[in-house]
Amino acid sequence: MLAAHLERHLRSWQGPDPLKPLGLATGRTMEPLYRTLVERLLSWSADELEALRARWCSFNLDEYLGLSADDPRGYRAYMTHHLAAPLGLPASAVHLPDSTAADGAVAARRYGEQLSCCGGIGLQLLGLGSNGHVGFNEPPCPPDQHCHAVELTPATRQQNAVLFDNCVEAVPLRAITLGLWEILEAAEIHLVVTGAAKAGILKRLLDLTEPDPALPASWLLTHPNVWLWCDAAALV
Just list the catalytic residues.
62, 131, 133, 138
The Cα 152–Cα 159 span in angstroms is: 11
SS3 content of the chain, % helix, strand, coil (to 5): 45, 15, 35
Burial (0-12, 13-18, 19+ Cβ within 10 Å), 48 = middle
Question: How is residue 134 annotated by DSSP?
Answer: B
How would you classify the pairing of strands 148-151 and 174-177? antiparallel
How would you classify the pairing of strands 22-24 and 58-60? parallel
CA 121 and chain centroid, separation: 11
Among 215, 63, 219, smallest CA distance to 139 is for 215
Q: What angle do CA 19, 112, 4 make, to 5 degrees?
A: 40
Residues contacting residue 106 through CB under 8 Å, at least 6 positions apart? none
